Amino acid sequence: MLSPKSINFHLLLLSFFTFSISNSTALVSTRDTLEVYYPTDCYNTLIQSSYSQISYYSSLSTAQSYLPPDSFASINLYETVEWHDNSWTVTVPVDPFTVTIEIGYDAPQAFIGDIIGSAVSPDFVGVKNCYKQERLLLSKPNEWIECYAEYACGDL
């Protein structure tokens, strides 16, 4: 027969494991829902040039503070691209992320908040939606360069 002390110890041990498992699950799902990928167009007003990249932010709050992305992958170094009606796959080996973003052909005519495409990555579970948003100034890497995004992919 188990003594009251033994029962209390087992209950304490069980509650500890339950707490640990529930907290680790929450951390994984929180990380999974905060990442955002932006198809981004950047303009350099000093030398009158432009380029496109996919900008990765590990949290939505960082993305909304005009800070440079946590990581990015260049799509075209010499001009901006038509993001809609295309699929873009990028891999960044230095700060690893791999993502495939597909934006629908009718994205330019979509309303703000509409789902206009999808994103898949081995870094998150399932498929993330891409949304049309108001064109926003995402970051200013320096005083001459401004980067804008009209689409955002992730759990927003």
- Report the pLDDT value the prediction gives residue 68, as an integer from 0 to 100: 86
- Report the pLDDT value the prediction gives residue 20, as an integer from 0 to 100: 30
Reported as a single tens digit per residue, the pLDDT across 79-121 is 888 888 888 888 766 566 788 999 999 999 999 999 999 999 8
Name residues of the chain where pLDDT drops below 70: 1-33, 92-96
For residue 71, what is the enclosing H or E element? Answer: strand 71-76
- Report the pLDDT value the prediction gives residue 60, as an integer from 0 to 100: 78
What is the pTM assigned to this prediction?
0.73
Distances 121 to 35, 152, 154 between C-alpha atoms, Å: 11, 15, 11
Nearest to 88 by CA among 74, 107, 102: 102
- Report the pLDDT value the prediction gives residue 132, as an integer from 0 to 100: 96
Instruction: Quote the CA–CA distance of 82 and 52 in Å, as a whole number.
Output: 9
- Report the pLDDT value the prediction gives residue 19, as an integer from 0 to 100: 31
For residue 4, what is the enclosing H or E element? Answer: helix 4-34
